[in-house]
């Protein structure tokens, strides 16, 4: 996991009153705020079941999806979330944008801000990109991190927490195994932070030593190199995607060998508790990380994760905009005084 991003000051993503104004990382956020995000997401789930799936919380606001990396699931759920909050949504095609023609990121942002944008949803290959943008934009513009390098993917982690809470009701006493390519996973670090903050009893990172980050033993988790040790008596199993596009040669003998040792099969699933749930942030490599009988089986909640992604992102976007408005009001009040 990337250790190059220093802990950010709470003032960067929180207002002076402790409200969310950006959502960049779970590092440094307290249990009460994470629980508020989950509770708010819970309240938005029924919006997706309405005939007209909209609430007016972001009416008149403009949300720009800035995806510098390819994405289908994350970008789609952010777009749907913004539209269900009644925002105007601009999806910037980076492959045809000015940045591909040499314009700097800062100049691109200045131009988008000049179009009266209220929120940027940012995915970028460089760790820290969302933090850089949050420090650069005009006050009042909210930044949501949709995944930066190997660093963080906070909304994915929180939709995973929402799914776990739906099925297990609480985090206290839970043993959670996160399995696979920990080294390249920005999701894993955010999941660990969220699980430990919310009170999980034990978090295990399971995978070959070559796919385990050097600083993993500083995260307050248990490291396991075998599925037998990692899955025993677990309540939740989170399988990770093997990120071959980020992988250097030599980290794996072969995908076949990886599946034999770390792929989740019905036999390995039996090591966990009988009511354990199986999760995967997607996209799934069937037969590499997980066999189809498990991915589509009765203990899988993978599609629930996708559904919850919309409600969770609605919660984060509405809370960040509310925080920005509160800070703007406080600044105006302070200026008037």
Residues at the annotated binding site for L-aspartate? 101, 186, 241
Angle at 56 between CA 50 and CA 61, to 5 degrees: 135
Q: Which residues are annotated as a binding site for carbamoyl phosphate?
A: 73-74, 123, 153, 156, 282-283
Q: Please state, as a whole number, how many other Cβ atoms lie within 10 Å of the Cβ of residue 334.
A: 8
**Which residues is 144 bridged to in the sheet?**
23, 121
Q: Which regions of the chain does DSSP assign to beta strands (E)?
A: 62-67, 88-92, 119-124, 142-148, 175-179, 202-206, 222-224, 236-239, 277-279
Q: Which two tokens stand for residue 205?
A: 């990172």
- The CA–CA distances, whole Å, from 287 to 64, 292, 299, 303, 304 equal 36, 7, 17, 18, 21
- The CA–CA distances, whole Å, from 189 to 38, 141, 156, 172, 215 equal 19, 26, 11, 19, 11
Q: Which residues are annotated as a binding site?
A: 73-74, 101, 123, 153, 156, 186, 241, 282-283
Nearest of 308, 306, 299 to residue 277 by alpha carbon:
299
Q: Which helix (H) or strand (E) holds 289?
A: none
Q: Which residues contact 239 (CB under 8 A, 6 or more apart)?
A: 179, 180, 264, 278, 279, 280, 289, 290
Q: Which residues contact 260 (CB under 8 A, 6 or more apart)?
A: none
Q: Which helix (H) or strand (E) holds 18?
A: none
C-alpha 296/C-alpha 183 separation (Å) is 26
């Amino acid at each position: 996991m990337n250790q190059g991003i220093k802990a950010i000051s709470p003032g960067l993503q929180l207002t002076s009153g402790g409200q969310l104004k950006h959502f960049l990382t779970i590092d440094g956020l307290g249990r009460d705020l994470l629980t508020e995000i989950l509770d708010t997401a819970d309240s938005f789930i029924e919006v997706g079941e309405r005939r007209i799936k909209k609430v007016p919380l972001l009416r008149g606001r403009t949300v720009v999806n800035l995806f510098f990396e390819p994405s289908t699931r994350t970008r789609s759920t952010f777009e749907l979330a913004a539209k269900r909050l009644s925002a105007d949504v601009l999806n910037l095609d980076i492959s045809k944008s000015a940045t591909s023609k040499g314009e700097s990121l800062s100049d691109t942002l200045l131009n988008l801000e000049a179009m009266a944008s209220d929120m940027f949803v940012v995915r970028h290959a460089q760790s820290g990109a969302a933090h850089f943008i949050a420090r650069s934009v005009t006050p009042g513009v909210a930044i949501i991190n949709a995944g930066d390098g190997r660093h963080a993917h906070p909304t994915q982690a929180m939709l995973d927490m929402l799914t776990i809470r739906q099925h297990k009701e609480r985090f206290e006493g839970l043993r959670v195994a996160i399995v696979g390519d920990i080294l390249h996973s920005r999701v894993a670090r955010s999941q660990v932070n969220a699980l430990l903050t919310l009170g999980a009893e034990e978090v295990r990172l399971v995978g070959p030593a070559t796919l385990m980050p050097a600083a993993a033993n500083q995260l307050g988790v248990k490291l396991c190199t075998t599925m037998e040790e990692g899955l025993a008596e677990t309540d939740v199993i989170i399988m990770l995607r093997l990120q071959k596009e980020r992988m250097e040669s030599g980290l794996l003998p072969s995908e076949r060998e990886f599946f034999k040792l770390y792929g989740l099969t019905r036999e390995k699933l039996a090591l966990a508790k009988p009511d354990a749930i199986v999760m995967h942030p997607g996209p799934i490599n069937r037969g590499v990380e997980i066999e189809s009988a498990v991915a589509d089986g009765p203990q899988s909640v993978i599609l629930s994760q996708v559904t919850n992604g919309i409600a969770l992102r609605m919660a984060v976007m509405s809370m960040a905009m509310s925080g920005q408005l509160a800070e703007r009001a406080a600044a105006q009040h302070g200026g008037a005084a």
